[in-house]
Chain A
Amino acid sequence: MPKEKEVQNLSEVTVRFAGDSGDGMQLTGSQFSDTTALMGNDLSTLPDYPAEIRAPIGTVYGVSGFQLHFSSSDIHTPGDRPDILVAMNPAAIKKNISELKPGAMIIANIDSFDRKNLQLAKYETNPLEDSSLEGYEVYPVPIGSLTAKALQGTSLSPKEVSRCKNFFALGLMYWLFDRQVDQTVSWIQKKFAKKPEFIEANTNALLAGYNYGENTELFNTRYNVEPAKLPKGTYRSISGNEATALGFLAASVKSKLPLFLGSYPITPASEILQYLSNYKNFGVKTLQAEDEIAGITSAIGAAFAGNLAITTTSGPGLALKTEAIGLALMTELPIVIVDVQRGGPSTGLPTKTEQADLLQAVYGRNGEAPVAVLAASTPSDCFNMAIEASRLAIKYMTPVILLTDGYLANGSEPWKIPHANELPDIPVKFRTEKEGFAPYLRDGNLSRPWVKPGTPGLEHRIGGLEKANISGAVSYDPENHNLMINLRAQKVKNMVNDIPDLTVDGDMEGDILVLGWGGTYGAIKEAVIKAREAGYNVSQAHLKYINPLPKNTEYVLKGFKNVLIPEINLGQLSKIIRSEFLIPVKQLNIVRGLPFRVSDIENKIKEVLGGIA
């Protein structure tokens, strides 16, 4: 009989699963996340994988990781440094060791620490045997051979058996954190419904891992993380890309406009196309276009035909869509362009996150081409901002760019599911009345009438050449051009009355305001909390509307001696804020292709305040 194991309570834990791209780490991580969410913890995840689908086995650059931070209280980031690393091979240790917390627990699959894998990971000696992991709590577990043992007698090939070892690791982690296996068992049953031998093998591997924890002498302690006290409601775990897709679908339902997406696959935005392609029973129309330009121009055609028209992409694709955004602006048609920002420039770091497309979004077009720019702040916020982007595009008959990023897109968090009837309707008016019609008439928002082709008597032409205001005839008149340039700019400016004010978390004036935008919300929030705990008086504000900026922005900023702007770029929002308000700002810019570490921001806050609490 194994002796009774001690249970230790923890308030929060950061776990990283790491292994070969083919080891199923993303699957393992997301299963652990789903189960953890069901157990009521607050959580935040960070998948981190190479751009290569199957990078050479055993190498450091082939390592795929999935980090998960879960807690019994409110949390906002996937965690700076893992407390636990599950390493399926030597390369996983090599790649991650410098990121771990001092004294972190390492669960290593010793079966893969053979000469070949050590060499591939560029280890001269076995780190499990030399002193290089001193200071860490290392648990060598023969995950590969124990999985094989558990699956003895199966009809699966040795290779297939080996592929079940991630479930063994998952089972062990479920035991370690006292999670139930049920959710994963039913997932396996669904996933492999047509392959009963896989159901059996994966389930057995999972249970073997769990039982191993229970019976081995290696682990004497289990950990318990109590459920978090989240606001009342029904929750699900959601990633940014799924939330974006659902947001547009909700906007389609709320505007009663059919949804059209023209898109070309690009990492990390492709999932939005994939999700929306699944919602055909909502009448969602998705066109996988021949290129980025056809993605947006087909959307322009769709907007002309009277649809809620969107296109989704990442940085390089936004560059390609540039000219067409100008066309949408000039023809005054509503479209939403989603840019899931990734590491740039050029092809850059396709699977990593960055915030370096902000200036491209705000300014990156020929001519005076102002476009509304919105940015989501958390994975679930992508849902709200997709609705907002749609609402503004329709109301002001103009293109709107929605910025998310790779971290928001792939990361997930618990989402309090809104009731469809809580979401406001998006009013839409199509002009059908012949009397007094002209294609560039202006309403109170300076928007022109939206007319569906097929409407008798309202035949008209629009296009990229400058148009005479009201009549819409091609016009080279200098005064008219000046007028139209200003009208198009004014439309975007007018939105300022239609968007929420910038809110401040903390005092309205003081020594420091940390101003952020987009996906850094969580890291900034946690850094501000930590700095306050250390005795500093810090306020936080986060921009979700960047063009136009909320109308109280200047007022808010002027309340503080210091404005610190952390961004995963070289200071793009800082440039905008300085040029708009002539306010000096302090920058924090770290561009690693990864989210900020909370400690980076916390240290910078302290530095700005001179280290004095």
Chain B
Amino acid sequence: MIDNQPKENSQEKIKYTAKDFTSSQDVRWCPGCGDYSILAQVQRTSPDLGFKKENVVWVSGIGCSSRFPYYMDTYGIHGIHGRAPAIATGVKVNNPNLDVWVATGDGDLLSIGGNHFIHACRRNVDIKILLFNNKIYGLTKGQYSPTSEKGKKTKSTPFGSVDFPFNPLSLALGAEATFVARSLDRDPKHLQAIIKRASEHAGTAFIEIYQNCNIFNDGAFELYTEKDTKPDNVVFLEHGKPMIFGKNQDKGIKLEGLNPKVVDLANGEASVNDLWIHDEFDESPARAFILAQFTENENMPLPVGVFRQIKRSTYDKDFHEQIERIKKVKGEGDLKKLLFAGNMWTVN
């Protein structure tokens, strides 16, 4: 009674193009919005992800980012505020053959939908969550969000917000997410690469994408996206490689105990051999957590790339394996036997 065939190896691979993933709906984001880039990178990457278009389902909640499914020519549900991870879980668990993606924003996923997010992570449902983080509420026209920095002046915080924000990556790591990454709307190549990596991961894959809202929070990520400031402020994480950044690749990150530190590679302060070698597959989340906390330390650059990727069985797989196991033990269910059970008596 259940759809539980192994993922099909698409032998007769259909050659898709980005256009195949483009729906006929007019895209209605504000001109200049970072969402356009994310949509473009997803559409460009989708043909290379190796799945059949009819098996793709995009799920979203509410907010600017959540219009995303309408623009993808795949199956899609535009849900209600915050609930996309729960809807996506329902889709994936009921048909593990589907490739289920979630498009969401900082208000949707981390405020109203925070609960579903952490539970999707802990269950390790095989869904991919793209967080469009612009640190502002856009669709409701400019209130602060749970990722807005403390002191942020917005329409609802005219004197500055007094809330501490969430660090989305720390939250995901704390919730036991098995794939945690960050990318930038203004770095198409990097974003494409990270989307591919997420799609290859079995389990909940979480990508925080810094996304510029040019209407209500323009320039929030300028430091990390503009040519002249990006090299000195962004470190690209690569597995097995030392953490090096800077215009001249002359800065490195050293880990002293639990304390990360930027060191100068040019003045002899440190050499490449002293640097922190990134290990995506580290079983312990501790180092990934230290990396995630770089954003709380003004001396540290912004890490982008895959922070952590570990293997853990997925909820949807375990869910169906249990059903199959019980079927073997108890035998395929027989309604008649189930109804005619317990203490019965007959009236003649």
Chain A interface (Cβ < 8 Å from any Cβ of B):
34, 37-40, 183, 229-237, 246, 249-250, 252-253, 256, 258, 260, 262, 279-285, 287, 289-291, 293-294, 297-302, 304-307, 309, 323-324, 326-327, 331, 417-420, 452-465, 473-474
Contacts and interface: CB of A to CB of B under 8 A. Distances in A.
A235 B308 CA distance: 58
A262 B119 CA distance: 14
B156 to A, nearest CB: 22
A37 B75 contact: no
Interface magnitude class on chain B: 35 or more
B52 to A, nearest CB: 7
A301 B1 contact: no
A262 B336 CA distance: 25
B54 A280 contact: no
Interface string B12-25: 00000000000101
Contacts of A283: 1-2, 323, 327, 333
* Main secondary structure on B side of the interface with A: mixed
Contacts of A231: 347
Contact of A459 (B75, B95, B340): B75
Contact of A281 (B59, B333, B345): B333
A301 B88 contact: yes
Which 4 pairs from chain A and chain B are nearest by CB?
A301-B90, A463-B78, A282-B333, A298-B90
Interface of B: 1-3, 23, 25, 52-60, 62, 69-70, 72-81, 83, 86-95, 97-98, 115-116, 119, 319, 322-323, 326-327, 329-333, 335-336, 338-348
B341 A262 contact: no
A417 B98 contact: no
Given A300-B87, A464-B80, A287 B326 contact: no
Contacts of A258: 1-3, 94
A40 B91 contact: no
Contacts of A458: 54
A234 B340 contact: yes
B98 A454 contact: yes
A459 B55 CA distance: 9
B77 A304 contact: yes
Contact of B95 (A279, A306, A460): A306
B333 A236 contact: no
A249 B335 contact: yes
B73 A459 contact: yes
Of B74, B79, B330, B341, chain A has the most CB atoms within 10 Å of the CB of B79
Given A285-B2, A301-B59, A233 B347 contact: yes
Nearest to A280: B326
A456 B333 CA distance: 31
A457 B54 contact: yes
B98 A250 contact: no
Nearest to B331: A281
Pick the most buried of B59, B60, B69, B93: most chain A CB atoms within 10 A of its CB: B93
A590 B7 CA distance: 57
14 contacts: A37-B345, A234-B347, A250-B335, A256-B1, A283-B323, A297-B87, A302-B93, A302-B94, A305-B94, A327-B79, A417-B344, A456-B52, A460-B75, A464-B79
